[in-house]
Structure 1
Amino acid sequence: MPLSDSPAHYGAVTRAIHWLTALLILLAWPLGLYAHALAEEIPQLTGAEQAAQVSLTATLFSVHKTMGVAVVLVSILRLLWAWVQRRPDLLNGEHRTEALAAETVHLLLYVLLIAVPVTGWIHHAATAGFAPILWPFGQSLPFVPQSESVAALFTTLHWALAWMLAAVLALHVAGALKHHVIDRDATLRRMLRGTPAPGSAAQPGHALPAAAALALLLAVMGAGLALRPAAPHAAPGTEAIAAPTLEASAGGEWQVTEGTLSLSVTQFGNVVEGQFADWTAQIDWNEDAAPGVAGHVTVTVAIPSLTLGSVTSQALGGDFLAAEDHPTAIFDADLVKLPEGGQRAEGTLTLRGQTMPLAFPFELAIEDDTATASASFTLDRRDFGVGAGMTDESSVAFAVSGGFELSATRD
């Protein structure tokens, strides 16, 4: 059985790559549709039922994405092999219209088998969290930032091109069956068994099919963007929760001029980082005080202002932060000078209607009337009833990390 191709037949390597690609596509396509359907149901579920569905959905999406990466790698291998092999000529090249259509479909298949998974891969890399690719080489891509706008653009292109791939595959299969059943030629047998069959003298060439393929590709991408605008949007079945507008703290000796309040969770083994966009801090601090209580801080956080990658809607939902019912969190603490040097905040955090102790050291530097401070701390989400149905840390870890960096000026 020859490994290489000839003008009259497909070799074993080409046939193996062809059928492996077909198998991957036939598995990945329905898997992605089913996982998407499950994801749309998640907001309507609660407790253990939601936790189980999230875990199943993430697993299916992970397998779908991993198959997509496999399709890219196999398709690149096919292109490299085709570069050094002469593809067998068409058997009906003298039928010009049909031959041009067949060549256009072939070119579109080559492009779409890479473009569809790559657009999905870019969407994955641009989105923090949820359903990792099942391989050891990381989840990011060079030159792809984590950005909601980039993610939205490429998920739209992935959606449009995936449906185009489905249509082109249907045409490809229909053409093969037409050759086998109606024309009764060896087109399908050449790919199934490597049956040799010389092509016709006339062939369609590549220039016109390439132009037609490019025009169709651009048209579908444009239609996709028009029908499904590439803008960040909430997960299916969820509605945006209006964040309360927090007024700047009226009291306190120190006023925050800039700062970040961050949060990170570990989901399915991957760290997902986010920030709260709206929070205020009322701070009193006496740098000349003796060791002991030297100040006080009250921080109020607008929970709906959280962004946490692709899991933002889930994080704000009723089984997690319950942002609609508990729109603010409050950290109230004494600021303590330690006898051995350094500082520590000792107080309570009220989150999701639960108040628990929270203490952590912080860094502080004061120059004239400007102070900079930073800290990191860890919470156990179970203490606040966050994600109570998620009892398996392989889905969402119990430990949640937080931190802040801020600059403040003295009034």
Structure 2
Amino acid sequence: MHRYSRTAIALHWIIAALLAFQLAVGWGLEDLGARGFHLYQWHKSVGIAILLLTLVRIVVRMTKPRPPKSEDGWQGALANAVHVGLYAFMLGAPLTGWALVSTARVKVPTLLFGVLPLPHLPLPAGAHEWAENGHGLIAWIGVALFLLHVAGALRHHVLMRDGLIWRMIPARSAALILLLPALMLVGFVTGRAILPSGKAAPAAAAPAVPDNGAAAEAETDVVNVAAVEPADNAADNASEPAKEEPAGPPPAWIVQPGGRIGFSVGNDGETISGSFSKWTAKIVMDPDHPESADIAVTIDMASASVGDAYKDGMLPGDEFFGTAAHPTATFAAKGAEATGPGRYRANGTLTLKGVSKPQTIRFTLSGADATRKVSGSATVARAAFGVGNGDSSAGLAPQVAVTFAFTARRKP
């Protein structure tokens, strides 16, 4: 019996398994929202892999000898139409998916399997709707063609017993005739298995907290706080002896290398954590007289990273930080107040993405003399600054926890 070439056979079964994986994942993505971010990247990567393998298969089909047709008449015409339709499906599904991503309002970067950047197609935004509808329609047509293809193979092998299926098996082996079709089941089961099951509980690392302002006075410090302030702290402070007036102007402090400003936000039961690698701080403060504080922090928003190339590519966009128009964020505060031994609170103004709002930070100082260690936290209501204003942010918690830690030396 004439068989397809070994290359054509290998491509046939590899593509079939990948298609089964794609269908299993694709059906599950719609209900995942932001929790399916990584699966979307896998879905795109496997889709482009199918596109490339299909192009290779077309070249092989045109250059390698193929077995002759097995049937004429309407059965042969139907079989030929199904084959042509399957090729159109293997090309059309990834191409419409690529067009869908390229025309989306939120430009999510694609790194194929986390390595190779995939550029967006130069299509107008108006093409997004037809790409989205076309992608879904082609998927269902592909399922129908797939079932017809399998039904035809079973008809020949079980009913007609003409051994036609052996043309797509590299050797006449009972093990192979079971193993190779089982690859499709493996692909489908794998796709279903990697989908998150159910909706996880909110992450403990990003609890809901009050908004900034008067209610934020009650929030608990996040970093380096050994105990909650006593309820009668205000009375204790009031009973302390009056402090001496400062002997001179408050000292300026120089932030030493190695400090960190981090952030974390809940995301549909998970927590996304990251940091800013570029920032500067100008600090003037006498720890014994915190009302003398003059704090100014400037953060390079393009330096934000969550350790994931896909998400890092989204952060500079308009949905999140909009760094093209607003490259920096600033926090400025005049004066602070002591809330306990070595613990302080400063009420200032945060300017982020062109919006300025009141913001409270809490921090602790440790050490003595010319060197102090600083650590603290704040809770930022992201919606007030237009951060996370798109569809891909639907699962994000409304508050972002910001933490900072650094060492400062008193300026001579």
TM-score calculated relative to the size of structure 1: 0.44
TM-score calculated relative to the size of structure 2: 0.44
